[in-house]
Structure 1
Amino acid sequence: MEPCGRRPASRVAAALALVGLAAGLAACEGPSSPPPAAASPSASPSQGVDATPVPLPPGVSVEVGQARVEWGDRIVRVVVANESAVDVVVAAAQITGPRWATPARSLGSATAAPGGSATVRLLLGAPRCEQPEEADVLTLELDDSASPGSAPRAVLAHGIDASADPDDVLTRRWAEECAAEAVATGARLSWSPRLEVVEVVEVVEGVEGARARLTLWLDPVPGGPLVEVQAIDGTTLLSPVGGPQWALGLSSAAGGPVAATLEATPARCDPHAVAEDKRGAQMPVRATVDGVAQPVFYLPLPEAAREALHAFLGQACGWPAG
């Protein structure tokens, strides 16, 4: 645990706005520090509490991340690390900023004990797809009602910089969702509900006997921009036959529905890794809208196709039945 008044160099150094910080954390500022203003008991992140920027409470830091298993559910995680001497109770949290039309809101509370950490899960809000000019802001609602003489709620607003989001999770999710939104203005993309399994006689990339065929449909949106789908990348479960991606060349210029068939072999055959895979059925799309290349976004296979995919892997890889 770090002494009062010190902050580890690896911790986030961005400015914060704080109202009514818990008395146990404020004590680390020393007797000469002015006491923070008391927060209203009903204060919450959604109320946009006005506050003066102050340093991050000693020993407390935050970091944004995302678990692969929660990618499809649009959930991000905020880890609150606590090297102070008191509990840090996060009653609620949200992420806001100019590139989000609605805030990401927490799905529950969490408590970081001294010397430990806690994870707060947040459901992403709807993106606002213009070029962002400001960083996102994480707002934490701290519950210090158990500390005598302290306010029951404290609101902490924290600018999210590269040190607080080292994997650039928020930017990548925003870019992916805006790319999908831009494509959807000019074309509806969909997979056929099932994949086809075909037998082959030659050995292809170490796998003999079966390939999977998936069909991608592009249906133009009347009056929308020109959409072209150049390629689909391989995934952790599926490898394109003959290269690292499927070259498609689908275009909404056709004026009606068009389709392309993707032929695949297993990308891996270890049953344990396949069983635990979380993104193998999320197909990475490379497209342009009115000639402007979009960030890669993901088009998931439908449920029936995902089930058939696992059956295909078992067949192609020669796993024992059952």
Structure 2
Amino acid sequence: MPGRRRAVVAGALLGVSIATGLTAAGCADEGAGTGPDQTALPDGLTAFVDQSRVQRQGRTVFVRLINDTGQRVTVTQAVVGSPRFPERTWTGEKSFVNEADLEFELPPGRCGRGSDATVRLTYRLDDGPERVSTTTARDRYGAIGLFLARDCAEATLAEAADVEVGEPSVTGRGRGAVFELPVRFVPTGERADVAFAGFEDTVLFRNAPRSPTAGGEPVPVTGEPVRVVLRLVPARCDPHALAEDKVGTLVGVRVDAPELPPGSSYYLPLGEPDRSALRGFFAVHCGL
């Protein structure tokens, strides 16, 4: 499948700069120690880390600041990191009296426990002097924890095999049509204790017969390349579900390994052409 090889770990995200002022922490720390001294975070200012549902296809997450101080808060920098992912720095100027979101691209995460982050804020209260405070940003809804768990499953599989996604096709007609996508796991020879454990359903699609579904017998990715075919049909023919969908083309790949919790998975690396083909198939299959 020339030209269709997909890297499993999105390492290219490291060190990326985006329009919101995101930089790799190493660059942002130049001149550290010349700013204001650390001070306690004021009562009423709290931080959380989260990801919006509409951003699930990418790696954009955010620090949400909740302001109950009774004063206007102006943030000019936020350095975010944890034992599970490298630091990233948001810079800009955001002034708010209620709440504000500081977006950043989450770098590939590491396996481990816990999903809260540490945030070092540079900010002002009303027209006061610049202050720096460090606080814990809780992952209150578990979205970052799920993200990091997927990264862990993806990295574990990457140790054992490279993943190749082939060209999509459709077999059958009308309501009997099935979307097929060939997937190959090419063993690296580095590990023999990792297995592919099936594909998960999505809110838009379910696995058709003869698709290796989640919960099936794990297939070790060792020795010769393992070839499977993802076979999908719409889970329901609802035009509103298709029109409003944000996550229906995120197909989970179950990964089985000694260090992973049962049911660990990550999203099959599909490009926009594949996602468009899936949405087009949904519309044709359902006669929309």
TM-score category, normalised to shorter length: 0.7 to 0.9
Is 1:304 paired with 2:250?
no
Distance 1:275 1:135, change over 3 A: closer
**Aligned-pair distance for 1:251?**
2.6
**Paired residue for 2:177?**
210
C-alpha separation in 1, matches of 2:201 and 2:119: 34
Q: Figure out how many residues of one structure are paired with residues of the other and give that number.
A: 256
C-alpha separation in 1, matches of 2:47 and 2:259: 39
**Paired residue for 1:91?**
76
**Paired residue for 1:181?**
155
Task: Read off the aligned partner of 1:220 and give its amino acid letter.
Answer: P
Cα pair 2:64 2:99 within 8 Å, conserved:
yes
Give the greater-gyration-radius structure (CA). 1
Structure 1: runs of 5 or more not aligned: 1-42, 201-206
Task: Read off the aligned partner of 2:81 and give its amino acid letter.
Answer: T
Is 1:67 paired with 2:52?
yes
Is 1:141 paired with 2:116?
no
**Paired residue for 1:270?**
238
**Aligned-pair distance for 1:166?**
1.5
Distance 1:107 1:125, change over 3 A: farther
C-alpha separation in 2, matches of 1:229 and 1:249: 5
Q: Which residue of the other structure, out of 69, 76, 79, is the alignment partner of 2:64? A: 79
Encode CA deviations 1:55-78: one digit per residue, 9 max, x unaligned.
x42332222221122233212122
Q: Which residue of the other structure, out of 189, 198, 207, is the alignment partner of 2:171? A: 198
**Aligned-pair distance for 1:135?**
5.2
Is 1:165 paired with 2:144?
no
**Aligned-pair distance for 1:249?**
4.1
**Paired residue for 2:87?**
103
Structure 2: runs of 5 or more not aligned: 1-27
Cα pair 1:248 1:260 within 8 Å, conserved:
no
Distance 1:289 1:50, change over 3 A: farther
Distance 1:261 1:125, change over 3 A: closer
Encode CA deviations 1:232-291: one digit per residue, 9 max, x unaligned.
1001221112599354744322x2222111222102322233133222222111112368
C-alpha separation in 1, matches of 2:146 and 2:115: 15
C-alpha separation in 2, matches of 1:134 and 1:312: 37
Encode CA deviations 1:143-180: one digit per residue, 9 max, x unaligned.
45x72xx43x32121123xxx32112232222211221
Is 1:221 paired with 2:202?
no
Greater relative contact order: 1 or 2 (C-alpha under 8 angstroms, separation 6 or more)?
Answer: 2
C-alpha separation in 1, matches of 2:31 and 2:213: 44
C-alpha separation in 2, matches of 1:46 and 1:232: 48
TM-score relative to the length of structure 1 = 0.69
Distance 1:106 1:71, change over 3 A: farther
**Paired residue for 2:16?**
none
State percent identity of aligned pairs.
Answer: 28
TM-score relative to the length of structure 2 = 0.77
Q: How does 1:8-19 map to 2 (within 5 A)?
A: none
